């Protein structure tokens, strides 16, 4: 078990995310169709396909991979997802240095969450991707507190994000397009929280596979 996560991990993470988002494109579209524009899966699939194509040129470090993801998503993903995820990955790159240890995983997630909050002005309980990123950060911090390595920290974060996404189902949306539906938004899982959980699961899967 490595004490740090390298560029190879970052590349495997993003390639894995591209495949998983492509696989879940229809489901994300269906979730978004219930409470939004219906194109979240399409947008995420297109954005990460563009990222994967650029990754073939390689990146020198973890931060280079994250910055590439950020700039590509901002330029290719429509709707709110492009700016939100783009800002998240950019802040993640700025929050870390070199290979990523356990504290680095926390910094990466914290930077992502801060970027999303700064861009989207959302907080917990509003039925957005913040409801997945926030428990992910809390779980990562708790895992570090027990002395867990970066792989275990990532898995704890991913599991918490998945639970956070499920927990959006009974919430009424009060932010973004879904908020226009009022009480009709209750009973649907938030697509942004769902894609967050998928992406963080891929980060943990990639770490465990190395």
Q: How far is CA 181 from CA 43, 88, 149, 167, 177, in A?
A: 22, 27, 42, 18, 8
Domain ranges of the chain: 7-209
pLDDT > 80? residue 112: yes
The predicted pLDDT at position 1 comes to: 53
* pTM beyond 0.85: yes
Instruction: Give the count of alpha carbons within 13 A of 56, CB side only.
Output: 5
φ, ψ for residue 101, nearest 5 deg: -95, -170
pLDDT score of 180: 82
pLDDT tens per residue, range 125-165: 999 999 999 999 999 999 999 999 999 999 999 999 999 99
For residue 200, the SS3 value is: helix
Report pLDDT for 165.
98
Residues with Cβ within 8 Å of 155's Cβ and at least 6 positions away in sequence, in order, are 204, 207, 208
Three-state DSSP state, 92: helix
Q: What's the confidence (pLDDT) of residue 179?
A: 83
Per-residue pLDDT band for 57 (boundaries 50, 70, 90) equals confident
Tens-place pLDDT, residues 174-201: 988 788 888 888 999 999 999 999 999 9
Which superfamily is assigned to 7-209 in CATH? DhaL domain (1.25.40.340)
| Beta carbons within 8 Å of 58's beta carbon, 6+ residues apart | 11
Residues 168, 127 contacting (CB under 8 angstroms): yes
pLDDT number for residue 176: 80
């Amino acid at each position: 078990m490595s004490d740090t996560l390298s560029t190879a991990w970052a590349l495997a993470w993003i390639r894995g995310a591209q495949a998983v988002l492509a696989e879940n494109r229809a489901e994300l579209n269906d979730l978004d169709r219930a409470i939004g524009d219906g194109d979240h899966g399409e947008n995420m699939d297109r954005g990460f396909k563009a990222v994967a194509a650029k990754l073939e040129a390689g990146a020198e470090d973890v931060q280079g991979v994250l910055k590439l993801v950020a700039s590509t998503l901002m330029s290719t993903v429509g709707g709110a997802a492009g700016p939100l995820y783009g800002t998240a990955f950019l802040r993640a790159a700025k929050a870390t240095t070199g290979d990523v240890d356990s504290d680095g995983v926390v910094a990466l997630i914290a930077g992502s969450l801060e970027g999303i909050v700064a861009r989207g002005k959302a907080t917990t309980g509003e039925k957005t991707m913040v409801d997945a990123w926030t428990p992910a950060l809390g779980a990562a911090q708790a895992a570090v507190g027990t002395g867990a390595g970066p792989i275990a920290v990532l898995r704890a974060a991913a599991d918490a994000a998945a639970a956070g996404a499920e927990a959006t189902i009974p919430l009424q949306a009060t932010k973004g397009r879904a908020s226009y539906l009022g009480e009709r938004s209750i009973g649907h899982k938030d697509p942004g929280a769902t894609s967050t959980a998928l992406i963080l699961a891929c980060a943990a899967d990639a770490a465990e596979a190395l």
